[in-house]
Structure 1
Amino acid sequence: MFGRQRVQASGRSGAAHLLVCGNEKGGSGKSTLGIHIATDLLNRGLRVGILDLDIRQQTMARFFAYRARTASIKKLALPMPRVEILPAVRRERVADVEHEERCKLFRLLLDLRNDCDIVIVDTPGASTNLSDIVHSQADTLISPMNDSFVDFDVLGSIDPVTGQFGGTSHYADTVRHARRERRHADGAMLDWVIVRNRQATFSSRNERKVDNGLRQLAMQMGFRLVDGIGERVVFRELFPLGLTVMDSAVLYDLNVCSRTSPSHLAGKAEIERLVRALRLPLEAEGAQRAAIRRELGRPNEFRTRIAELLH
Structure 2
Amino acid sequence: MAGPHFIVFANEKGGTGKSTTAVHAAVALTASGRRVAALDMDTRQRTLGRYLDNRVETVKRLGIDLPMPLYDTFDPAKGEPIDAALDRIGAEADIVVVDTPGRDDPDARKAMLRADTLVTPINDSFVDLDLIGQVDAETYRVRRPSFYAELVWNSRTQRAKTHGASVDWVVLRNRMQHIEARNMRRVGEALGELSRRVGFRVIPGLGERVIYRELFPKGLTLLDLPHLGEVGIGHIAARQELREMIAGFALPSENGPAAAPARTAALAG
TM-score, with length taken from structure 2: 0.91
TM-superposed deviation, 1:233: 1.6
In the alignment, the residues of structure 2 paired with residue 278 and residue 57 of structure 1 have an alpha-carbon distance, to the nearest angstrom, of 26
The CA RMSD over aligned residues, in Å, is 1.7
Structure with a larger share of its residues in helix: 1
Query: Which whole-Å deviations, capped at 9, do the CAs of 1:232-268 have from their partners, x for residues lacking one?
Result: 12111111100011123433xxxx233xx21111011
2:230 to 257, 279, 282: 257
Look up the match of 1:235: 212
Look up the match of 2:246: 275
In the alignment, the residues of structure 2 paired with residue 211 and residue 66 of structure 1 have an alpha-carbon distance, to the nearest angstrom, of 36
Larger radius of gyration: 1
Identity %: 38
TM-superposed deviation, 1:104: 2.1
Out of 80-89 and 35-44, give the one that drifted further.
80-89
In the alignment, the residues of structure 2 paired with residue 117 and residue 250 of structure 1 have an alpha-carbon distance, to the nearest angstrom, of 27
Contact (CA 8 Å) 1:160, 1:209: kept in 2 or not? no
Contact (CA 8 Å) 2:9, 2:118: kept in 1 or not? yes
In the alignment, the residues of structure 2 paired with residue 136 and residue 29 of structure 1 have an alpha-carbon distance, to the nearest angstrom, of 22
Divergent runs of 4+, >4 A: none
TM-score, with length taken from structure 1: 0.79
The 5-angstrom pairing of residues 40-55 of structure 1 reads 40-55=28-43
Look up the match of 1:291: none
Look up the match of 1:295: none
In the alignment, the residues of structure 2 paired with residue 110 and residue 227 of structure 1 have an alpha-carbon distance, to the nearest angstrom, of 30
2:85 to 92, 108, 115: 108
Q: Give the letter for the 2:111 counterpart.
A: V
In the alignment, the residues of structure 2 paired with residue 203 and residue 14 of structure 1 have an alpha-carbon distance, to the nearest angstrom, of 45
Gaps of 5+ in 2: 258-269
Query: Which whole-Å deviations, capped at 9, do the CAs of 1:84-136 have from their partners, x for residues lacking one?
Result: 1122328xxxxxxxxx5xx5211111122221111000011111110100111
Distance 1:203 1:33, change over 3 A: same
In the alignment, the residues of structure 1 paired with residue 113 and residue 191 of structure 2 have an alpha-carbon distance, to the nearest angstrom, of 23
In the alignment, the residues of structure 1 paired with residue 123 and residue 86 of structure 2 have an alpha-carbon distance, to the nearest angstrom, of 30
Does the residue aligned with 1:244 lie in a helix, a strand or coil?
Answer: coil
TM-superposed deviation, 1:282: 3.4
Out of 195-204 and 230-239, give the one that drifted further.
195-204
- 1:27 counterpart = 2:15: yes
In the alignment, the residues of structure 2 paired with residue 122 and residue 110 of structure 1 have an alpha-carbon distance, to the nearest angstrom, of 15
TM-superposed deviation, 1:177: 0.6
Q: Give the letter for the 2:77 counterpart.
A: V
The 5-angstrom pairing of residues 107-186 of structure 1 reads 107-186=84-163
